[in-house]
Chains A and B, each alone.
Chain A
């Protein structure tokens, strides 16, 4: 495999960049593997990468029913941050934040991580109190997060409207400076390339249709659209389809799948310096390097696998953006789309073992899984390789819904986050 470098770029330029070659193989499935990962999104590919790199488990296949990174990995709004409320979440998301810092160097693949700052707007007294509580909780845990007045928020993001005469005036903001965005496709491609280098087979267009179990109850492999493939361990990283896949092994999940929509505008010159999120009026906005405004909308209220949603949801978000950023009022939107997110009752993910021996699950990331991709893959690989959770994901068990030890980011955020 080609190692990307300035020298390589110069060398290939001589040939007008005609001979870069494929960055990963398209292998046929082997009869069996040590570990099968179901789902070649960012989290699944990261899991395979760290299994091979950190735990020496290289006899691994990643099965994908569609194409690599074609689900929620390619549909999110690319925001990376870690200012969550509870200690467990701070540990998990800040672990990912640490890995983001030099991920491009680690993978020798530019994931375009840009620490341009994520600013979360407060519009009500309740918002102010909640965000200040977050800021203090984060400070105690050593997680970067700070409080800004409305004027300071305006100075950080000049297009912001802080007039008092709008429906929900800005009363202040919480800012995490090292948060930002990363190129979501590049994350999937970088991990795919890295995993492939260690010998991991990435098998696309291979839908899992059943999970086979041995006489002792443990998993023995998966039925797929390309025949049976044996496995000693299986990791399910299927996002919105987790309930469907887990049902093949007879495990019921505390999940509901909803459409989450996003949209992009026509591309314009650089005009928007950071990421702005407003949970209260439902506006999530940043500008991509291509110049498009990348806008996140809310979830539809009903269970659906349709990868589309109601237009009233996006309208609501665009309304809010027009009021907060009046300069965008005449901007045209280019595309909108939906992804299917698997939401847990406490809005925290499930990463760990299941009642079925050899079957592991990483799911429930809801509306905000992209930011955690490196950390999620890292701790999930540890869990699969050693048959026990990493200390960071130990609280995120499936069993917490029986014991009652929930990690209630739902109450902490009160809305999609």
Chain B
């Protein structure tokens, strides 16, 4: 079971307190009416699904109830960092280089 830090509560808790929210930073289109089918498919269904660092959403359902984001390595399952919704996505390539050193 993963141990996850909630950046809102500031505590580390077991995974069963959290619900996964999928890939982070997929913005709902500002002008939905202007999208063609390809762009809709990209927004709704296409996912990067990387083998490496992934920015993803979690929700602390059995705690504060709030969404937050995390960067996790999808092979080791180790969390690199957590950050609040609305904050910028960290530079994943820079984090990967740091992790490699």
Chain A contacts to B: CB under 8 angstroms: 241, 243-244, 252-257, 301-306, 310-312, 345, 401-404
Contacts and interface: CB of A to CB of B under 8 A. Distances in A.
Which residue of B16, B47, B76 has the most chain A CB atoms within 10 A of its CB atom? B47
A412 to B, nearest CB: 18
A305 B38 CA distance: 28
Contacts of A254: 41, 45-47
Contact of B46 (A244, A252, A306, A311): A252
A251 to B, nearest CB: 10
B76 A253 contact: no
Contacts of A255: 47, 49
30 contacts: A241-B51, A243-B47, A243-B48, A243-B50, A244-B49, A244-B50, A252-B42, A252-B46, A252-B47, A256-B22, A256-B49, A257-B49, A257-B74, A301-B19, A302-B20, A302-B72, A303-B23, A303-B54, A303-B74, A304-B74, A304-B77, A305-B51, A306-B76, A310-B1, A310-B2, A312-B1, A345-B44, A401-B45, A401-B46, A403-B37
A46 B15 CA distance: 39
A30 to B, nearest CB: 29
Interface residues on B, range: 20 to 34
A256 B56 contact: no
A355 to B, nearest CB: 10
Given A253-B49, A404-B37, 10 more contacts: A243-B47, A243-B48, A244-B49, A253-B46, A254-B46, A256-B47, A305-B74, A310-B15, A311-B1, A402-B40
B11 interface: no
A401 B41 contact: yes
Q: Which 6 A-B pairs have the closest CB atoms?
A: A254-B45, A243-B49, A301-B20, A402-B41, A310-B1, A252-B46
Interface string B13-46: 0011001101100000000000001101110111
B48 A302 contact: no
Interface of B: 1-2, 15-16, 19-20, 22-23, 37-38, 40-42, 44-51, 54, 56, 72, 74-77
Given A254-B41, A402-B37, A402-B41, A302 B49 contact: no
B66 to A, nearest CB: 18
Contacts of B42: 252
Contacts of A311: 1
A404 B47 CA distance: 17
A302 B56 contact: yes
Which residue of A243, A244, A257, A305 has the most chain B CB atoms within 10 A of its CB atom? A305
Which residue of B40, B49, B51 has the most chain A CB atoms within 10 A of its CB atom? B49
Contacts of B72: 302
A306 B15 CA distance: 16
B71 to A, nearest CB: 12
A310 to B, nearest CB: 4
Contacts of A241: 51
